[in-house]
Each structure stands twice: as structure tokens, then as C-alpha cells.
Amino acid sequence: MTSTTRARTAEETALHHAQNAGRVGAGVFDARGLLTSLPGALRKLDPRHQIRNPVMFVVWAGSVLVTVFAIADPSTFTILIAAWLWFTVLFASLAEAVAEGRGKAQAESLRRTTRETVAIRLLEGGQREEVPGTSLRPGDRVLVEAGMLVPGDGDIVEGIATVDESAVTGESAPVIRESGGDRSAVTGGTTVLSDRVVVRITSKPGESFVDRMIALVEGASRQKTPNEVALTILLSTLTIIFLLAVVALQPMAGYSGSTQSVVVLTALLVCLIPTTIGALLSAIGIAGMDRLVQRNVLATSGKAVEAAGDVSTLLLDKTGTITFGNRAATAFIPAEGATGESLAAAARLASLADPTPEGRSIVELAEKEHPGIQADPAHGDAVPFTARTRMSGIDIGSRRVRKGATDAVRAWAREHRATLPEGITRVTDDIARRGGTPLVVVEDTGSGIVTHGVIQLSDVVKPGMRERFARLREMGIRTVMITGDNPLTAKAIASEAGVDDYLAEAKPEDKMALIHREQEGGRLVAMTGDGTNDAPALAASDVGVAMNTGTSAAKEAGNMVDLDSDPTKLIEIVAIGKQLLITRGALTTFSIANDLAKYFAILPAMFLAIHPQLGALNIMRLATPQSAILSAVIFNALIIVALIPLALRGVRYTPTTASGLLRRNLLVYGLGGVVAPFAGIWLIDLLVRLIPGIG
């Protein structure tokens, strides 16, 4: 697949997911969805579930208490108050059930991918045996041929194949998975379309990627985030304060000669405590994670989603993230005194045991340009590439052939009391300036170091990167590209991609050091990557987004997995994180602000009989004390239903300053929270006053 085709496919996939997200968001609150979620909402009336939410548990307890009074001494007023208190609890449960319902629908489509499979397990000695996929354990090696389902999560250790991942990612175009490099991971339930591969299983039955995904989108493993816990504590504290205030009100009412009924006091308490945000808090958190799933991002915790909203530094691995990652050998440039054939032969020899795509491309280019080079050696000890040495090669007797980064090879030659020719530095600098990656090929013949020349590897920056990084800059996020390339290559790629800074010749410990430096400054750090060497940094960062094309180690280390393997998806992740925080703050502001109108509705009504002058506070001109109290209780219940779509959709996020965000929040949701109840309670009172025994 060409880079142009890949770019077009990525854009079409992004558009497809955006359209799907729009359709889901638009239809989140239709009548059918409500009816489907109603049984789940009724089950949540169980006190064992309600007690997890202190605010709504108080409402539940008040509903039970008023119901007892309605049965013992029935009256129209008491029965209606009891009914609407139960509706308040039900609507709160319905908000959570609707949010969970979308996740369960997505989980059901994922569950269809977890069909029972038969795996071909490879035994020592080359024997094969057919076993159920559920019997596989980490470390087992299985053979997967064209047309077969991958029986479990794992890494390809032999071969290359095209894989259909549409069951998991929604992307219809097949992808290439191969041993070595950062595109070796395969997911259980996907289908191999061509060739055959050997997969080493990395997950236990029931703990696969799809299994975890199902549990997360269903909400079964969702835990409260630190901000959510803090807000719950605040709401609980406010509830206790209002509870004490209402309890203390009765002795004062008795002293003034206007003892209040338990029903009225309960109605007052329910209207004064922050029931709106208490009812919607869980739905907001579930909806935030659900919006990520709609965009093909799996978050392993709500904490990561919240942290994304406060990220100020983004670290990106270059290969496979900013660039397509399919670096390939494009030219052999012999050193002075060497020939193209000798360079190709040495480069091929140093790459025979290199399983990475780059290593295979070197072998292919050498055989294509020089078909007559010598055959494979009969014996030899391979020297694998490591992030620390940044070299690979082979030892055959007294011959030691090496290829690697310029400075690494120069240091290796210096250890053998040799230096690289000056012309090599000019060639590698020129390749690096043009955005390529130079590899120097040298050989220790036993009698001295021979420099054969330079291999040029080329990579391509993914389209649209500059524009996306500009958007991150508008959000106040600083982008840093991390690469093992030399500084010149890193500078060229960074300039082309439009990142703010770069870290060249980075080892795993360098990435960790950079993350710790950023975090020590009080900044939250996000990291995207796809390779095993990215795993420590992904684990150390506050938000670690692993690419689905990456290795199993990377996906295990991160707290998010991008199924589309689009590194710039972090723009959407950050926006969703900010949207989650803004939505929670906006509805908290609204919930506390709309208590003001309830004061004007209920408190004057309670004491109007003994203090007629309180009638001046009846600015809504409510008909009777009973209609005022009942109207406030009904509004308190209905406002929850009215705000469910906003809680699930989220408040729209636009890049702005903190002061601008606070100003908008106070004007829209603070002032709106004051005005809306006055209008709502007044309109409800117009209907309530028509009820016999109330008006």
C-alpha cells in the first residue's frame, strides 16, 4: 500500500468514525433509547446501588420516608410529593443507564468477534496439535494461515501477512503485520488474509485485548477518577450541611408556632441538596469514556481521560507515529576506495540476521542491485540491534561486520584504534539534512578496520501533521518528537512535521529522564508510541497512548490504545478530556445556582401562615404553599431529564484561556442556573394549581 493510499484510507476512516460519533450523539436521547434503558434504571433503585452515591441515597431515603407517610395518612399533596421524589431517583438512575446502554451496545458488537477458535499449537521438535483457543497460555506458539482467525493476542515471531482487523477497529482496509519492528502485534479475533505467520501468545484466556475492551465499554470496570471522588466528597459535605440545617429548622419552626411536617422538610432537603449534579455525575464519566470508544480509543481508566484534559506536554515517537515507520534502504553510497558491490555485500551480510523491516529492505536492495554477490555464510554469530548500541551485524571467524548510526559506528571504530574517513561524515550529514537516515557499514578484517560506505534509509512524514500540531499548540500543548536518529535527521523531520522540539539519539533512559523533567515542573505529560522500547516511557507518562499497530509490550504499558494507530488522535483525546472536565464543572455550577430559585419557592411557603410579610419574597406569584413546594420538587426531578443529553454529549470545547472559560461558565451555567428554575417552577405551578387539593 502506498503512502498516498494509506493517507487517503486514514482520512476516510477518520471521517467514518466522526460520522458514526455524530449519529450516536444525535440519537442518544430518543424514546426508544429511554425505553431500552428503563429496566436497567429500575434495577438501580436497589439501595445497595444507591448507597454508592451519597446525594441520591439521601433522596432515596427521603422517598421511602415520604411513601410511608403517604400510606399511613394519604393526601393528594403527600402522594404527589412521594411520587415525584421517586421520579427524581428514577431519572438519576436513568441517566446512568442510558450512558451505560450505549457502551453495552458497542460491547455486544465486540462480543461477536470472540468466537471460539481452533488453534494450531507448535510443539518442540516441530510437531503440531489442534487445541481450543481458550486453552492457550502466554508463551505458546501457534501457526496461523490464510483464512484463519488469530486465536489470541500475541506477537508475530515468524513471517509476514495481511490481516483484517475490521472486527476490532472498524477499518475495512487490511493491514500488514510482520515479525520484528513495531508492527508485530496481532489481536485475537482478527483474520489473516494471506500468507502464514507464527504467533507467540501474550495473553491469558479471558484477558485478551477484546475482553478488556468489552468490560471497559460496558462500564463494568469503571472506577471513579480522583476529580470525581473529590467532587463526590464536596457534594456529600454539602448534603450533610443542608441535612443539619433542615433538622435545625424544625425546633425554630416549632418555637415560632409553625411546626413543619416531615413531608415538607424532606421536600426542602431534596430541593436544596445538589441533586442535579449528584444524579448526572456518573453519567458524565461514563459518557466521557464512551466518546473515546466512538473514536476508536480504548482508555483503561477514567483517570487517564481526565489527565488528558490537563496535558501540557506531548512526547511523540517519530517512527510509525510522525512518520509512516516503513523506513527502507533506497541507496548504497560507497566510501572512497570502496565499490558498490563490496558495500552491498557487507551490508547484506550485516543484515542477514536482522529481522526488522529495515534489515530486510537492505538485503532486498543488495540482491536487486548486485545479484552476483556471495552466498550466505555457512556459520556466523549474529549481533542483534539494541537501543543502547544502535548497531547490528555478524561475526564470522575473525571478520566482524557492523552497520549502525554514524556516532555509534565511529565509537566502535575508535575502540579498535581506527577512525572513519572524513568523506563519510559529509555523506551522512547530507542524507540527514534531507530527512533520511544514514547507516554506516564497516568491517574489522582482523588486520584493520575497513569502511565500506553508507546505506541511505528513507521515511515519509504522514500528511497533515503540521496542521494538527498547530492545533495542539493552540490548546497550549508543547510537542516534542523523540527519535533514535542523529540530530540532523531529527531536525529535518521535526521541521517538516512542525513539532516544537525534538530529542535525538534517544535511548529508553533518555525518554524517561525527559518525562521526569517535565513532570517535576508540574506539567502533565502525554506520550504516544508503538515499540517495545517505548513501553517504559508510556508507563511513566500521565497519559500513555499506545498505537494498536505496536507491540504487546507497548499496549500493556500505556493507559490508552488507539485502534486507528493515528498519533494525532491525541488532539481528540485532549479535547474529550477537557470536555469531560468542563461538563462536570458546568453542571456543578448549574446545580448549585438553581437552588436559589427553590429558596424563593419553598421557604416563604413554609412560613407564610405566621409571617405574611414573607409574601413579598413570592416573586414568582405561586398559587399556594403546597403548589409552591410541589412545583419545586417536580422541577427538581424534570431538570435531571432535561440535562441528560448535555451530560452525555458534553459541553462543547473550544480552545480558550482559563479566565475566558471561567467567565463563560459563570455567565451561561451560573446565570442560567439561576434564571431557569424561576421560569420552570412558575410554569409548573400554572399546571399544579389546577389539581384539586393543591391549588
CB 361 within 8 A of CB 347: no
| Three-class SS state of 592 | helix
Place of cell 393528594: 76
Summary count for the chain: helices (H), strands (E): 25, 22
Instruction: State how far the Cα of 190 lies from the Cα of 656, in Å rounded to an integer.
Output: 42
Contact 452, 442 (CB under 8 A): yes
Q: Which three cell numbers stand for residue 158?
A: 515468524
Task: Give CA–CA dist 180/333, Å, rounded.
Answer: 26
Chain centroid to Cα 686, Å, comes to 47
Backbone angles phi, psi at 295, to 5 degrees: -100, 20
Distance CA 445, CA 418 (A): 12
- For the four alpha carbons of 159, 163, 169 and 172, in that order, the dihedral sign comes to positive
Find the catalytic residue in 153, 317, 459, 564.
317
Residue 288 neighbours by CB distance under 10 Å: 27
Q: Which amino acid is at 604?
A: P
The H-or-E segment that residue 201 falls in is strand 196-201
- Annotate 387-434 with DSSP letters as a single string: TTT-EEEEEETTEEEEEE-HHHHHHHHHHTT----HHHHHHHHHHHHT
The residue count for the chain: 695
Q: How would you list the strands of the sheet with 560-562, edge to edge?
A: 297-299, 560-562, 543-547, 524-529, 311-317, 478-482, 501-503
Does 211 qualify as catalytic in the annotation? no
Q: Burial, 39: exposed, middle or buried (Cβ in 10 Å; 0-12, 13-18, 19+)?
A: exposed
The CA distance from 452 to 400, in Å, is: 13
SS3 118: strand
Separation of alpha carbons 695 and 687, rounded Å? 9
Q: Which amino acids are annotated as binding site for Mg(2+), given as ranges? A: 530, 534
Amino acid found at 610:
I
**DSSP state letters, 357-368:** HHHHHHHHHHHH
**Helix/strand/coil for 187:** coil
Alpha carbons 285 and 99: distance in angstroms, whole number: 9
- Residues tagged in the binding site annotation for ATP: 354, 358, 385-392, 403
Please write down the long-range contacts of 65-70, taking CB distance under 8 Å and 24 or more positions apart.
65/262, 65/266, 66/262, 66/263, 66/266, 66/267, 69/261, 69/262, 69/263
> How far is residue 78's CA from residue 259's CA, in Å, rounded to a whole number?
17
Residues 6+ apart with CB under 8 A from 255: none
Cα distance between residue 29 and residue 645, in whole Å = 6
β-pair partners for 391: 404
Among 274, 277, 272, residue whose Cα is nearest residue 606: 272
Distance CA 520, CA 514 (A): 10
Cβ contact 178:160 at 8 Å: yes
Task: Provide the angle, in degrees to the nearest 10, between the axes of the packed helices 422-433 and 406-415.
Answer: 160
| Binding site, annotated residues | 354, 358, 385-392, 403, 530, 534
Number of C-beta neighbours around residue 237 at 10 A: 11
Give the active site residues.
317
